[in-house]
Amino acid sequence: MTFIRFIILFFIPALGFGSVTGPGGQYNLVHDFKDEWQIYDAGEKLYLPFVKEQNFDFTAHTAILNTEDYPYSTLLVKSDNPADFLFINGSLIQKLVPGKWVTIQVNDLKSKYKVRDIYLTVYGDVNADHKFIQVGYPSRKNQLSEKGSVNQPFNIKPRANVPYRSTFVVVFIVTLVLASFLSNSYPRAFQRYYNLKDLMSFLVREQSFLINKPLNRTNMLFVILLSLISGFLYIIIQSKGINLIDSRFFFQDAQTFGLLLSNFLKLCVFFFVMFVFKFFLINTIGRLFNLDKVVEIHFFKLIQSTLYFFTLMLIILLVLFNTYLFSETFLEKYFLLVLSVFYTFRTIIIYFTINRTINVQSLYLISYLCIVEILPIIIGLRFAN
């Protein structure tokens, strides 16, 4: 399909179809968004079609560009208003000079933002008739001039991802403060949770207070720490354009410090609720399988292994992120695979731990673990993007 679109776009200049547009009329018009403006409804938290008679007082007008529909084309933006600004995916790009076109390669947008749909917003004046967002294909003469020119009218290098970096700093400080507090206030528990030898051991001391009281204050503080780390991991992955779930389903779709921090807090609450819910799920299924004696051990091993692995993964991603060794392509291909391997490894540890703790038939235990461990993983991978 992409190849067919390219052939059509390539032969537009040769066939002479369509009108010309862009600076100096050097582009053949492929698509005009003049009838596709949208406005953001803060109450509904979604974009709605722009109706001139009803939305006459809106200053921000947005067009949604599907980058896969226009390969090898050029985005053309212009405003005749004196004080309009161009935003891309919520980030300010530049102030628009009245009457002057801004040109951006669609392939550059796709490569930069790593998403299919690009949100283009012209903000400033209420007059949408003087705002223009179009897609064009350069004429043959313009193709030759672009190849020999080094001064492009617009260099697609948006500002550094400051909102994400600012959010990372705040989240890192909060996570580090909580971890420091736990290591000083509960040193025995901290050493137990972050003990690789204890993690790999299948013989568990059942008299430990961390196991006998899974929902006590100490354990809940470590679950909160795990929730913070899980949320931190998610926003790092999201900052590279990789959404494990549909962001509009759960988050406000924007790239400002306040909204990113709000999304992070929502994530932390979500993960905390899910970890507590997991305990009640284990408790309920364990009683059905007459395995209520190992519910506390199961939950402890689950939190211990997840906390250890997620902390290690967070450290690695932060190092890669800050040394610019972050490969989005590698991450996009193998992140879910790494998670799948971890959850499989965690299930194996829990299996052997329970098997060494009580005398239970293997088939019986496998059936129990399939319900409380493997089934939730399959459901999670099914809904992941």
27 has which bridge partners?
Answer: 21, 138
pLDDT at 229: 96
Q: What is the pLDDT of residues 55-83, one digit of tens each?
A: 888 889 999 998 888 888 899 999 988 88
pLDDT at 202: 83
Q: What is the pLDDT of residues 90-116, one digit of tens each?
A: 888 888 988 899 999 888 888 888 788
Under DSSP, is residue 19 helix (H, G, I), strand (E, B) or coil? coil
Q: What is the pLDDT of residues 227-257, one digit of tens each?
A: 999 999 988 887 776 666 655 555 665 567 7
Q: Which of 153-157, 301-305, 320-324 has the highest mean pLDDT?
A: 301-305
* 145 against 62, higher pLDDT: 62
> What mean pLDDT is reported for the chain?
81
Tally Cβ neighbours within 10 Å of residue 86.
23
* Dist. CA 167–CA 163, nearest whole Å: 6
Backbone angles phi, psi at 193, to 5 degrees: -70, -35
* Dist. CA 109–CA 157, nearest whole Å: 10
Tally Cβ neighbours within 10 Å of residue 228.
26
* 176 against 317, higher pLDDT: 176
- What are the sequence ranges of the domains in the chain? 2-147, 162-383
275 token code pair: 């970890």
Residue 7: band (very low, low, confident or very high) from pLDDT cuts 50, 70, 90: very low
pLDDT at 294: 86
